[in-house]
Structure 1
C-alpha cells in the first residue's frame, strides 16, 4: 500500500476536526421506527449530561413517539406566512445563537418553506455541522437522489423531496432501522403509522409487500456500501492492503430526456464499485433548442449535486472524443445511453455504442437502455433549422435552377451540375445540415426536371442518367454535410477563442494592476462588457458594513443581503439559481484566498433568469485570477505598511540614540549646579550663585531646544514634519555645531574655512545644525588623536556645500553607496565602531527634506573621508535700506 493512500485516509479524518458529527437513522419506508430510535438515543445522551436540543421532530400523532419526546429541551419553531397559510420550520438562527452540543433534526430531505435561508433541510444541517454542532437525523432510502428512478420503477411514485447522496456518504455514522414488511403492514393496519383512512390508501398505493421488500433491499444495499467504504478507509489508515481505486467511470450525456436517469444510474454504479466518476458532454458545434439546453444544464447540475465531475469537450466525433478522454483520465468504465437512431443513421451510419466498441481497447462499455419518456417530445426545430434557413434553401435552389437554365446554352450538361452544387454549399455554410439536405433534394429534382432528357419531366429515359443523378445527389449531400460540419467546428472554435481571450485579456490587465483598487477596476471593466449582466463587487469591513467597491451602486433588499452574508461566511455561492436563498435577483460568488473571502462578486442577469452552468463556470474561472490578484495586492499593501512602520520605528530609535549625548550633557550640568546650591547654600558667594543659576537656565534652554529638535526629527521619520524655514547664515550654523561638540572636538586640530561673503540659506536651522553635528561627531569618533579635521563651506550659483574632512580609516569605495542605508555598518571606516549605524541615514533624511543630498569623497592628504552636505540656494531676500 502506498504512503499517499494512507496519508489521504488519515487526512480525511483530520479535515473533519472542528466539524460536528452527523448520525443518520436510515429506514426503508415511513413507520419503521427511525424517529423513535433517534429519540431513544437522545434520551440516553440526555441521561449522560449531554447538552442537546430538539430542532424539529415530526411525531405524526404517534403516542409512543410523543412519549419519548417528553423531557427533551426543544427549540421553538419559526412560523412564516405563505399565501395565507401558517408554516412552521426549524429555527436555525435560534439554534446557532445558543449552540448546544447535539441537535435532533427529523426528516432530512424535507423542503423548507419559501423565503427560508436554505431551500432544503439538509442544507440547514450542513450549517449546523460547520458550526461544530453534532446532529442526529432521519431519512428514508427513497429520498436519495441517485435512487429516484429506481424507486419510481418499483413503486410507480415519483418522489419529489430528494437529497444528494454525498450528504449520506459524509455522515460519521449510519444506523439502519429495519422492520420486516409484514410487521410494518400490521402497524399500518393498526393505525400506528397513519390514520386508518390514510393507511388503507397507503397500502393500496405505496405500502404493498412487494414494494416494501424492494425498498428494504435498497436500504440494506446503501448501508452495506457505506460499511464497506468505512472498512476500506480503516484499512488504509492502518497502512494495510486495501482495495485501491480502480480507474474512473465516465458517463456520456446529451440534452435528451434520458440524461438525468443516466446520471443517477452512473452515481449508483460509481458507489458500488467505489469509482470516482465524471459526466462528459461532447459539444459537436450543432445548434440546440432552448429545451435541449435546459435539459443539459439540469443534468449537469444533478451530476454536481451527486458528487460527479462535469466535463465539456468540443469535438466533431462524439465517440472519438469520449474514448480519448477516457484514455487521458485512465477510465475503466464508459456508460452511455442507447442511441435513438434516426432513419438516416440507420441507413448510412452506426450508433454510438457500435462506434465506441470499435475505437475502445481495454475499456468496458455499458449501454443503458431507458424507456421512452411518456412526456410529449420537445419541438424538433433547432436553432439552425429555423424557418428562415429552410426558406433560404428554397430560394437558393430556385436561383440555382434559373441560373443553370440561363447558362444551359453555353455549358455542357455535366458543368451545369456545378451550379447546383454551389447552391448547396452556400446554404450549408450559411445555415446547417438540415437546410443543406433540403437544398440538395430540391436541386436534385430541378436538375432532373429541367436538364435530364426528357426535359420538363421527372422521367429518366437513359440508364446512364440514373447514375449521373445518383452521383449528383451523393455529392450534394456530402458537400452540404462537410460544409455544415466545418461551420459547426468554426462556431465551437470561436466560442472557445472568446473564453480563452477573456482569460488572457483579464490576466494581461491584472499584471499591470498594482493595488487593490486597480484590480477591482479591472474586474469591473472586464465584466462591464457583458451587456446582459449587472455586476457589483462587495466587501465587508470589520464592523460588518457592506461597501460596493466597483460596479453597480444599488441598495440590496433584505433577502439579497442575507444571501450575500451567507456566501461570505461560508465561502460558497448563494442566491439566484442556487439552493441557498434563491429568491433574490443576484448570484453571489466569493473570491477567496487562504484566509477567506476577499471580495464578493455579485451577478444579476437583466432578464432575471438563473445563469446557465456554462456561464457560472466561466465566471468562476475568471474569478480565480481575480482572487489571486487581490491576494497579491493585499499582501503588497501589508508588506509596504510593515516596511513603513519598521522604518519609522527604526528612525525614531536612531534619532533618540543620536541625541542621547546632547540630552545627557545639559541634564548633568543642571544637576551639578542644583546639587551645589542645595549643599552649600549661603556659603556660596552671591556672584557664584548667580553664575550657577544662569548656567542652569542656559542649559535648560539648551535642553528645550534639543527636545524640540528631537520632536521635529521624529516627525521627519513618517512624513509629519513641517519645516519651519527661515533665513540663516551658514557661518552661524557652523559656529553653533562646533560649540555643541566642543568637548568631543577638543583632542583634534579643527580647521574651519567659512568665507565671509556667503549667501543665506532658507532652511530649518535646527535640522541642518543637527545634520552637521552628526557628520562632525562621526568624523571625530574615527579621527586619530591630534588629527586634522577640516570644515569647509563654499557656494556657487545653485547650491551651498558643508564639507567635513578627516584623517580616519576612511570608507571603502565599494561601500560608499550603502553607508546611508539604515543600520548598515561597515566592517571598517566611518560607519564602523560602536555607533548605531544610523547617523548618516538621519543626516541624509534631514538634508533630503530640504531638497538637498549628501555625498562621500576622499579625505585629507589621501586619508579618511569627506562628507559633503549639498543644500539648494533660493533667491536672496532684499534688505531694507535704513
Structure 2
C-alpha cells in the first residue's frame, strides 16, 4: 500500500479542526426507540459534566421518552406565523448564541416551516457543526434520498422528507437502534408509538410486518456499509491492502421520468462498490419541452445532493459520446436505462444499450429496466408543434411541384426527383425533422400523382417506377434527417460559442482591471447586458456593515439581508431558488478566494421567478474569473501595503540609528552655550555673549528643521500626507523660501532669474515651499563662502521648473541617484558632514506627491550641482473680470 493512501486514512480519522462531531441514531421505522436512545446517551453526557442543550425533541406524547427529558436544559422553540397558522421550529440562532458543547436535534430529515433560514433541518445541523458544536440526531432509513425509490416499492408510500446520503456518510458515528418487527407492532397496538386510532391506520398502511422486515434489512445494510467503510479505513491506517477504489461509475440520463430513479440507483451502486460516480447527459441538439428540461434539471440537482458529479456533453451520437467520455475518465461501469422498444429504433440502429455494447471495449454496461414501475408511465415529453414550420413544408412541396411541372418538358424523370429532394433539404435546414418528413411525404405523393405513368393517378403501372418512388422516399427521409441533425448540432455549437464568447469577453476586460473597483465595474458592465435581471455586488466591511460596492443601490429586506449574511459566512449560494432562505428576491453567490468570500454577487430576476439552472451555471462560470481577478487585486493591494510597511520599518530603524547623533549635536552646542552664560554671566564680554546667544538660536533653528524633516518623512511613509491644493504664483513660493532661509543664505551671493509672466501652479503651497527650502539649504551647506547661488524659474506648456544651482564640489554621476535615499552618508552626499540626510528625500516625496520629479545636473559654469524641481501644469483658471 502507498504511503499516500495510508496518510489519507490517518488524516480522515483525525478530528476536523473547528468542526463539531455528528452522532446519528439510525432506525428502520418510527417507534424503534431512536429518540429514547439519544436522550439516554445525553443523560450520560450530562452526568459527566458536558455542557449540552436540547434544540428540539419530538416525544409524540410518549411518556417514557418525556421522562428522559428530565434535567436536560432545553432551548425554547422559535414561533413562526405562516398564513395565519402558528408554527414552532428549532431556534438555531439561540443555540448558536448559547454555544453548548453538545446539541440534541431530533428528526434530521424534517422540513422547516416557511420563513426559516434553511429549508431542511439537516442544514441547520450542518451550521451547528461548522461552529464547533457536537450534535446528536435521529433519522429513519426511509428518509435517505438514495433509498427513496426502494422504500416506495416496498411500502407503496412516497416519502417526501429526504436528506442527502452524504450527510449520513460524513457522520462521525452511527448507532443502529433496532427493534424486531413483532415487538414494534406490539408497541403500536399498545399505543406507545401513536394514539390507538392512528396506530390501526399505520399498521394497515405502512407498519405491516413485511414492510418492517424489509425496512429493517435496509437499515442494517446501511449500517453494514458504514462498518465496511470504517474497516477498510482501519486497514489502510495500518498500511495493509484494502479494497481499492478503482475506476468510475457513469450513469447516462435523459429528460424523462426515469432519470431520478437512475441517479438514486447509481448512488447505491457506487456506494457498494466504493466508486466515484458521475451523471452524464448528452445534448444532441434536439429541442426539449419545458417538462423534459425540468425533469433533467431535477435529476442533476439530485445527483449533486447525493455527492455525484454532473457532466453535460454535446455530440451527435449518445452512445459514442458516452463511450468516449468513459475512456477519458477511465470509467469501469456505465449505467443506463432501458430504451423504449420502438420500431424506428429497431430499424435505425436499435436502442442505446445495443449500440453501447457494440462500441464499448472492456467497459461494463449495466442496463436498468425502469419501465417496470408501479406508477403509470409518464408520456414522453413531446416537442411543441410549430404550425408555421409545417406550413412552410407544405408551401415548399407545392413550389417544388410547380417547378418540376415547368421543367418536366425538358428534364428526364429521374432529374425531376432532385427538385423535390432540394425542397426537402431546404425545409430540414430551416426547421426540424418533422416538417422535413412531411415535405418528403407530400413530395412523394405529388411525384407519383403527376409524373409517374399513368399520370393524375396514384396507380403505378411499371415495376421499376415502384423502386424509383421507394428510393425517392428513402433518400428524402435520409437527407431530411441529415440536414435536421446538422442544424441541431449547429444550434448546440452556437450556444456553446455564445457561452465561450461571454467568458472570453469577460477575461479580456479583466486583464485591464488593476484594482478592486475596476474589477467590480467590469462585473457590472458584463451583467448590464442582461435586461431581465438586476445585479449588485455586496461586501461587508471590517466594521460588519454591508455596503453595495457596485450595481443596483437598493435597500434589502431583513430576509434578504439574512440570506446574504448566511451566504457570506458559509461560502455557499443562498436566497431565491435555493434551500436556504428562499423567500427573498435575490440569489446570492459568493465570489471567494482562498481565505473566504471577497464579495457577494446578487442577482434579482425582474419577474421574481427563480433563475433557471442554465443561467445559474453561466453566472457561476462567470463568477470564477471574477473571483480570481478580485483575489489578484486583493493580493496586489496586500503586497503594496506590505511594501509600505517594510519601508516604514526601515525608516523607523534608520531614525533610531541617526537621531542619537544628528539630533544630539545641536543640543550639545546649545547646552554648552547656555552653561557658559549661566556660569560666567556678565564676566563674558557683551560681544561674546551675543555670539553665544546667536549660536544658540542658530542651533535651535537647525534642530527645528531636523524635527520638521523627521515629521514630514514619517507622514510620507505612513501615507498621511494630504494635498490641500490651491492656485499659487511661483514667485510667491520663491520669495517665501528665501525669506525663511535669509540667515542661512547671508554668506552667499544669491541670484534670482524669474520671468515676469509665469503660469499659476495648482499645488499644496506649503509643501512645495518646504521642498524648495530643503534644496536651497542643501545648496547653501555645500557652497563656499561668498559663492554664487542661483535660483531660476522656467515654464513650458507641460511643466514648470524650479532650478537651484551652486558652486559646491558637485556630485559624481554614479552617486546622483543615491542623494535621494534616506540617510545617505557619502562624503559628497546630502549630509556633507552634518544633517539627517532627509532633506532631499523629503523633497522628492513632496514633489512626487504632486506628480512631479526631481532631477540632478551640473552647476554654475560647469561647477557644483543643479537640482531642478519639475511640477506639472494644469489648465489655468478663468480670472473674473472686475
| TM-score normalised per structure 2 | 0.88
CA gap of 1:130–1:734, structure 2 versus 1, over 3 A, is closer
Take 2:620 and 2:686, find their aligned partners in 1: how far apart are those partners?
90
Measured after TM superposition, the shift of residue 333 of structure 1 is: 0.3
Measured after TM superposition, the shift of residue 313 of structure 1 is: 0.1
Take 2:553 and 2:376, find their aligned partners in 1: how far apart are those partners?
45
2:855 aligned residue = 854
Aligned 8 A contact 2:534 2:603 in 1? yes
Aligned 8 A contact 1:654 1:839 in 2? no
CA gap of 1:455–1:166, structure 2 versus 1, over 3 A, is same
1:272 and 2:276 are equivalent in the alignment: no
Aligned 8 A contact 1:323 1:356 in 2? yes
Take 2:40 and 2:872, find their aligned partners in 1: how far apart are those partners?
93
Take 1:872 and 1:48, find their aligned partners in 2: how far apart are those partners?
78
Say which SS state the counterpart of residue 69 (structure 1) adopts.
Answer: coil
1:551 aligned residue = 551
1:190 aligned residue = 190
2:605 aligned residue = 605
Take 1:772 and 1:657, find their aligned partners in 2: how far apart are those partners?
26
1:475 aligned residue = 475
Take 2:606 and 2:723, find their aligned partners in 1: how far apart are those partners?
53
Measured after TM superposition, the shift of residue 403 of structure 1 is: 2.5
Take 2:91 and 2:213, find their aligned partners in 1: how far apart are those partners?
37
CA gap of 1:134–1:801, structure 2 versus 1, over 3 A, is closer
2:382 aligned residue = 381
Query: Cα deviations across residues 330-366 of structure 1 (Å, max 9, x unaligned)?
Result: 0000000000133211222211001101111111000
1:749 aligned residue = none
Query: Cα deviations across residues 44-80 of structure 1 (Å, max 9, x unaligned)?
Result: 0000000001111111111111111111111111111
1:89 and 2:86 are equivalent in the alignment: no
State the aligned residue count.
849
2:215 aligned residue = 215
Report 1:104-253 matches (<5 A).
104-253=104-253
Report 1:669-748 matches (<5 A).
669-680=669-680, 696=696, 700=700, 703-704=703-704, 707=707, 711=711, 718=719, 719-720=721-722, 725-728=732-735, 736-737=743-744
Aligned 8 A contact 2:336 2:368 in 1? yes
Aligned 8 A contact 2:712 2:842 in 1? no
Measured after TM superposition, the shift of residue 501 of structure 1 is: 0.6
Aligned 8 A contact 2:54 2:74 in 1? yes
Say which SS state the counterpart of residue 542 (structure 1) adopts.
Answer: coil
Aligned 8 A contact 1:775 1:843 in 2? no
Report 1:408-447 matches (<5 A).
408-447=408-447
Aligned 8 A contact 1:452 1:465 in 2? yes
Aligned CA RMSD, in angstroms, stands at 3.5
Say which SS state the counterpart of residue 68 (structure 2) adopts.
Answer: helix
CA gap of 1:161–1:733, structure 2 versus 1, over 3 A, is closer
Measured after TM superposition, the shift of residue 185 of structure 1 is: 1.4
Report 1:324-343 matches (<5 A).
324-343=324-343
Say which SS state the counterpart of residue 820 (structure 2) adopts.
Answer: coil
**Higher mean Cα deviation, 421-430 or 401-410?**
401-410
Take 2:316 and 2:646, find their aligned partners in 1: how far apart are those partners?
61
Take 2:606 and 2:119, find their aligned partners in 1: how far apart are those partners?
24
Report 1:367-378 matches (<5 A).
367-371=367-371, 374-375=375-376, 377-378=378-379
Take 2:308 and 2:567, find their aligned partners in 1: how far apart are those partners?
23
Say which SS state the counterpart of residue 293 (structure 1) adopts.
Answer: helix
CA gap of 1:829–1:330, structure 2 versus 1, over 3 A, is farther
Take 2:737 and 2:117, find their aligned partners in 1: how far apart are those partners?
76
Take 1:495 and 1:515, find their aligned partners in 2: how far apart are those partners?
32
**Higher mean Cα deviation, 393-402 or 21-30?**
393-402
2:775 aligned residue = 771
Query: Cα deviations across residues 760-817 of structure 1 (Å, max 9, x unaligned)?
Result: 999966643433444666x69xxxxxx9997664759666754456669x7464x644
CA gap of 1:470–1:818, structure 2 versus 1, over 3 A, is farther
Take 2:871 and 2:590, find their aligned partners in 1: how far apart are those partners?
57
Measured after TM superposition, the shift of residue 24 of structure 1 is: 0.3
1:868 and 2:869 are equivalent in the alignment: no
Report 1:319-358 matches (<5 A).
319-358=319-358
Measured after TM superposition, the shift of residue 860 of structure 1 is: 12
Take 1:757 and 1:489, find their aligned partners in 2: how far apart are those partners?
81
CA gap of 1:807–1:816, structure 2 versus 1, over 3 A, is closer
Aligned 8 A contact 1:713 1:721 in 2? no
Report 1:554-569 matches (<5 A).
554-569=554-569
**Higher mean Cα deviation, 594-603 or 608-617?**
608-617
Measured after TM superposition, the shift of residue 736 of structure 1 is: 4.4
Query: Cα deviations across residues 92-144 of structure 1 (Å, max 9, x unaligned)?
Result: 11101111000111111111111111111101100100010000000000000
**Higher mean Cα deviation, 363-372 or 657-666?**
657-666
2:587 aligned residue = 587
**Higher mean Cα deviation, 456-465 or 682-691?**
682-691
Aligned 8 A contact 2:393 2:439 in 1? yes
Aligned 8 A contact 2:770 2:843 in 1? no
Aligned 8 A contact 2:791 2:804 in 1? yes
Measured after TM superposition, the shift of residue 699 of structure 1 is: 5.2
CA gap of 1:457–1:556, structure 2 versus 1, over 3 A, is same
| TM-score normalised per structure 1 | 0.88
Query: Cα deviations across residues 195-223 of structure 1 (Å, max 9, x unaligned)?
Result: 22222221222111111111111111101
Aligned 8 A contact 1:733 1:768 in 2? no
Take 2:288 and 2:769, find their aligned partners in 1: how far apart are those partners?
82
Take 2:310 and 2:102, find their aligned partners in 1: how far apart are those partners?
36
Aligned 8 A contact 2:750 2:788 in 1? no
Aligned 8 A contact 1:537 1:548 in 2? yes
Take 2:823 and 2:687, find their aligned partners in 1: how far apart are those partners?
49
Aligned 8 A contact 2:806 2:866 in 1? yes
Runs of 5+ consecutive residues of structure 1 not aligned to the other structure: 743-751, 781-786, 876-882
Take 2:449 and 2:871, find their aligned partners in 1: how far apart are those partners?
103
CA gap of 1:775–1:645, structure 2 versus 1, over 3 A, is farther
Take 1:818 and 1:700, find their aligned partners in 2: how far apart are those partners?
29
**Higher mean Cα deviation, 661-670 or 240-249?**
661-670
Query: Cα deviations across residues 613-643 of structure 1 (Å, max 9, x unaligned)?
Result: 2222211111011011111112223333444
1:526 and 2:559 are equivalent in the alignment: no
Query: Cα deviations across residues 23-53 of structure 1 (Å, max 9, x unaligned)?
Result: 0000111111111111110010000000001
2:798 aligned residue = none
CA gap of 1:766–1:167, structure 2 versus 1, over 3 A, is closer
1:62 aligned residue = 62
Take 1:825 and 1:99, find their aligned partners in 2: how far apart are those partners?
61
CA gap of 1:722–1:767, structure 2 versus 1, over 3 A, is farther
CA gap of 1:164–1:687, structure 2 versus 1, over 3 A, is same
CA gap of 1:852–1:596, structure 2 versus 1, over 3 A, is closer
Aligned 8 A contact 1:730 1:758 in 2? no
Aligned 8 A contact 2:855 2:868 in 1? yes
Aligned 8 A contact 2:250 2:277 in 1? yes
Measured after TM superposition, the shift of residue 676 of structure 1 is: 3.4
Aligned 8 A contact 2:52 2:100 in 1? yes
Aligned 8 A contact 1:460 1:466 in 2? yes
